[in-house]
Structure 1
């Protein structure tokens, strides 16, 4: 039977972990490079910048900073402030995955019934992450380099919490997307599909890491799969954001400015008391259908995507004192 705590086995595992982290860092640097086209399209205004992209960039660049810190930590031959670097890596590693859950609030149109509980859930998860940061430390050992230590319990709880939080977020998104799924748009199906793929990737990458920590074969093997799991999660989340952004820019859409729309299921609200002037302008740039409705005294907006082959006639009454979904022919 293998003695997992023998010096020879631990030394062999350290070599495997070092090579594995170098491979993962190389993969992420390649992923970062191929994503520069997406970021350049935002700089040149080919794509519109919206607030859900803020968590994307925070996660993306935290991952880049952690990657650089990993390379310095493993390849340095001079004295380093290991405690500061490892603390930054612990915060950055938690932030890499944590920030990508924030844009899910958009699916619920920032409804407080979902946003408040979700914020409390994410805050509790951040508390677990910060607990892991406190339990993590390091020191410099001449001839060896930075020695990192952490709490197995903190690592295990962090992975379990991450899986549970992602499952809850996916369930909330599914509940909302099922409610707004209709013939007008493939967007709910896309969001649900990307969310499901993301959750499966997180589960498949985090579960082996949690099992390794639970087995506690030796200190090196406890954290062997933690770094690859985190990077896989970040890459999957960032690709989902870019995929959704590409869909939003390439798919035909109908844009309507109306009074306080309520989703799901209704495009118009009842009992509109203010009179409105509703001149309609239809244009078709880049194979898209855009309808701008100029109103007086009305606010709000709805964005609906339609397949390229689908067209609808929208009839507006001359005296719009009561608008509802029946006005769509």
Structure 2
């Protein structure tokens, strides 16, 4: 029987976590560099900027910042750094990137349903609840600096991780079911069906990748609560692969050209943006309050 809290096992788990993060950094950088042409086309004005691309850029560059933070945490071993503050940044940005991936999928579902308020409002409520859990989970990892080893995870609350991933899985499942229902039963003329077919295939691919291959392992490790390292070891892959998949969905749909096709026009969709920005604002203000309270 493995003693998951023995020093030897903890050391092996930490080494596995370290190596997995470095592999993910390489994977994400490869994906990032190979798709910079789309970013440049939008930045240079060659492609029209639409406001939902805010979520795309937030997820893409936010995750890059998270991986840079991980690289610092795992490789700076001789100079003291604020590991708790660094992991707070990683948790805030990394977990919100996971939420933004759900927003990207929700926006497509709302577009498929013709921006119906009967779909928009419930999905906005689900997203609001998701960011509420993210707000609660951003401070559940505690880390400290160990000279010669770098940042070390001292403790984590696995229940919050499990709740966050379970809620995310449920939200994505509901969003996907709504999309599948609409695309399967409400196909119209050829132009519409081409868009819907693209959204269906990409949405299903995202769901299969993020939901089955990565969110479920993250959920299992969080529920098992073997030790502090194993509780978060699948957090990185889940957030990173969900971000990569959702960004690919955005790019493919954005590049779909057709006369008069505009799926980002409704004021109803701004509700998702407002909820996201409000959640981030509350999250930052809450953390500032906690920090000030600790100082006093």
Q: Using the alignment, how far apart are the partners of 1:150 and 1:211 within structure 2?
A: 15
- List alignment gaps of at least 5 residues for structure 1: 258-329
Where do 1:1-329 residues align within 5 Å?
A: 1-77=1-77, 78-102=79-103, 103-104=107-108, 105-148=110-153, 149-185=155-191, 186-203=194-211, 204-246=213-255, 248-249=256-257, 253-255=258-260
Question: What's the offset of the Cα at 1:82?
Answer: 1.6
Listed one character per residue, the Cα deviations across residues 235-258 of structure 1 (whole Å, up to 9, x for unaligned) are: 111111111122x23xxx34399x
Q: Using the alignment, how far apart are the partners of 2:86 and 2:11 within structure 1?
A: 23
Listed one character per residue, the Cα deviations across residues 85-138 of structure 1 (whole Å, up to 9, x for unaligned) are: 111111111111212333233333332211111111101010111111132232
Question: What's the offset of the Cα at 1:10?
Answer: 1.4
Question: What's the offset of the Cα at 1:142?
Answer: 3.3
Q: Using the alignment, how far apart are the partners of 1:219 and 1:101 within structure 2?
A: 26
- List alignment gaps of at least 5 residues for structure 2: 263-296
Secondary structure at 1:134 match in 2: coil
Conservation of the 8 A alpha-carbon contact between 1:180 and 1:188: no
Secondary structure at 2:152 match in 1: strand
Conservation of the 8 A alpha-carbon contact between 1:177 and 1:192: yes
State the number of aligned residues.
253
Q: Using the alignment, how far apart are the partners of 1:111 and 1:219 within structure 2?
A: 43
Question: What's the offset of the Cα at 1:141?
Answer: 3.2
Q: Using the alignment, how far apart are the partners of 1:109 and 1:48 within structure 2?
A: 22
Question: What's the offset of the Cα at 1:180?
Answer: 4.0
Q: Using the alignment, how far apart are the partners of 2:172 and 2:68 within structure 1?
A: 27
Instruction: Tell me what 2:294 maps to.
Output: none
More helix by share: 2
Q: Using the alignment, how far apart are the partners of 1:11 and 1:134 within structure 2?
A: 24
Question: What's the offset of the Cα at 1:179?
Answer: 4.9
Q: TM-score, normalised by structure 2?
A: 0.80
Q: TM-score, normalised by structure 1?
A: 0.72
Question: What's the offset of the Cα at 1:144?
Answer: 3.4
Listed one character per residue, the Cα deviations across residues 237-290 of structure 1 (whole Å, up to 9, x for unaligned) are: 1111111122x23xxx34399xxxxxxxxxxxxxxxxxxxxxxxxxxxxxxxxx
138 and 3 in structure 1: CA distance in 2 versus 1, 3 angstrom threshold: closer
Conservation of the 8 A alpha-carbon contact between 1:181 and 1:189: no
Q: Using the alignment, how far apart are the partners of 1:107 and 1:61 within structure 2?
A: 27
Listed one character per residue, the Cα deviations across residues 200-235 of structure 1 (whole Å, up to 9, x for unaligned) are: 111221111211222222322222222112111111
Conservation of the 8 A alpha-carbon contact between 1:69 and 1:85: yes
Q: Using the alignment, how far apart are the partners of 1:68 and 1:157 within structure 2?
A: 26
Conservation of the 8 A alpha-carbon contact between 2:141 and 2:157: yes
Secondary structure at 1:140 match in 2: strand
Conservation of the 8 A alpha-carbon contact between 1:17 and 1:224: yes
Q: Using the alignment, how far apart are the partners of 1:106 and 1:100 within structure 2?
A: 16
Conservation of the 8 A alpha-carbon contact between 1:41 and 1:47: yes
Q: Which has the larger radius of gyration?
A: 1
